[in-house]
Chains A and B, each alone.
Chain A
Amino acid sequence: MNQSEERRRIALVTGGSRGIGRAVAQRLAETGVQTIFINYLQNETEAGKTKGLVEQYNCRCFLARANLFYEEEIDKLFQTVKAEVDRLDIFVHCAALGAFKPLKEIKSNQWDLSMSINARAFLLCVQKCLPFMKEGKIVALSSLGSTRFVPNYGAMGPTKAALESVIKYLAVELAPMGIQVNGVSGGLIQTDSIIKFPEAASFLQEVSARTPARRLGKPEDIADVVMFLLSPAARWIYGEIIVVDGGLSLL
C-alpha cells in the first residue's frame, strides 16, 4: 500500500444494503474512500448490489452480516473489520428497525427491538469503533419523528430521540479525542421502508403535498448531507442534528 492509499479513508456503514445506507456507501466510494465495510441484517442480494456499486470506484468493499440487536454479533462485525484493517476513519449508522403503529399499541418486544437497533446498537458500535479511531467522523441517521409527532411512528420516534441524545453525549465525550459525532434528521425519505406505513400511498401523497419543496426526500438528499458532515468543511460542527426535510418541519 503506497502513501496515498494510506491516506484514503476507511468507513463502516450499518444498514448499508439498501436505501440511505446504500446511497451513503456509494457517495463514500465516489469521493475516494479506500475501504467500506457494509453491515446488513439479511438481504444478501441487495447488499451484494451495494458492493457492486461501491467497487466501481476502486474502493474495497466487505459485506458483514450482523444482527445489531445482539452485542455478540456486533463483536463479530468488528472482528471482520479487524481482520482487514487497523483503523476506521468514518462510521455511519443507518440501521433502523421499527413497527409502524401508534405508540399506545406498542408491545414490549417491539419497543425493545426498535430501541436496541436504533439507539443501543449505535452506542455499542461507537464504543467498539474507538480502538480503531485516532481521529474520525461519526454520523447517525435520525428522523423528524424524534421531536415531532408523526402518525404511526410511535415505535420509532422515541428511539430516534434516544439516538439524538446519545449523539450529543458522545459528541462531547469524544471531541477531545478528535472524533466528531453528528446526526442527520430526514423527513420522509423514499426507501423500501416507507411502504410499511399504514395507508402508505395516501400518507406519502399528503406529506409530499405538505412539504414546501413539494416532493418526498430521496436517499441521495440525505447522503449528501452525511457527506458534508464527513468532510473538512464540517470540522467545527459537533453534536448537531442537521434537519434535511425539504422544509417540512417549518410548517
Chain B
Amino acid sequence: MDRGLTEDQVLKTLSNIIVEALRVDPSKITRDTRIFLDLNAESIDILDIRFRMEQAFGFKINQEEMLRSVGAGLSAQEIQMKFTVGSLADYLMEKLRQQKN
C-alpha cells in the first residue's frame, strides 16, 4: 500500500478492517469508538485486527507497542478505556510516517 496516505484514508481502511474482523455495523465506527468496550473485542480479535492491518499497510506491528501507544504506564483497564478507533488510526499514521523516513 502507498505510504503517502491521508488520515482519512487510514481511518477508512482501519474502519473496514474492524468491520470485517468483528462483523459490526459500519455505522458504529467513529474515531471515538472504544474497540474493547464498545465493540466487545477480545484479545484474539485485537490479534486478528493487527494481522489485517499488517497485511493492509505492509509493515509489522508490535502488539504491545500498539496497545501502549494510548499512554505510558497505564493499567490494562485504562488501556481498554483509551484504545479507540481514533487512537489506533493515529498509531498507524505515526508508523506510516516512520516507514516513510
Q: Which B residues lie within 8 Å of A155 (CB)?
A: 44
Q: Which B residues lie within 8 Å of A196 (CB)?
A: 43
Q: Does A31 contact B (CB under 8 A)?
A: no
Q: Does B30 contact A (CB under 8 A)?
A: no
**Is the CB–CB distance between A98 and B60 below 8 Å?**
no
**Is the CB–CB distance between A97 and B47 below 8 Å?**
yes
User: Mostly helix, strand, loop or mixed at chain B's interface?
Assistant: helix
User: Mostly helix, strand, loop or mixed at chain A's interface?
Assistant: loop
Q: Which of A42, A65, A113 contacts B48 (CB 8 A)?
A: A113
> Which residues from 1 to 29 on chain B have a C-beta closer than 8 Å to any C-beta of chain A?
21-23
**Is the CB–CB distance between B44 and A113 below 8 Å?**
yes
Q: How large is the interface on B (under 10, 10 to 19, 20 to 34, 35 or more residues)?
A: 10 to 19
Complex: how many Å from CA A42 to CA B62? Answer: 7
Query: Shortest Cβ distance from B27 into chain A, in angstroms?
Result: 20
Q: Does B42 contact A (CB under 8 A)?
A: yes
Q: Does B90 contact A (CB under 8 A)?
A: no
Complex: how many Å from CA A110 to CA B47? Answer: 10
Q: Which A residues lie within 8 Å of B48 (CB)?
A: 109-110, 113
> Which residues from 107 to 136 on chain A have a C-beta closer than 8 Å to any C-beta of chain B?
107-110, 113-114
**Is the CB–CB distance between B44 and A69 below 8 Å?**
no
Residues of B within 8 A of A (CB): 21-23, 42-45, 47-48, 51, 54-55, 60, 62-63
13 contacts between A and B (CB under 8 A): A67-B54, A69-B51, A70-B51, A108-B23, A109-B23, A109-B48, A110-B42, A110-B44, A110-B45, A113-B44, A113-B51, A114-B44, A196-B43
Residues of A within 8 A of B (CB): 42, 65, 67, 69-70, 97-99, 101, 107-110, 113-114, 155, 196
Additional 17 contacts, C-beta under 8 A, given A69-B51, A113-B48: A67-B51, A67-B54, A70-B51, A98-B44, A101-B42, A107-B22, A107-B23, A107-B45, A108-B23, A109-B21, A110-B45, A110-B48, A113-B44, A113-B47, A113-B51, A155-B44, A196-B43
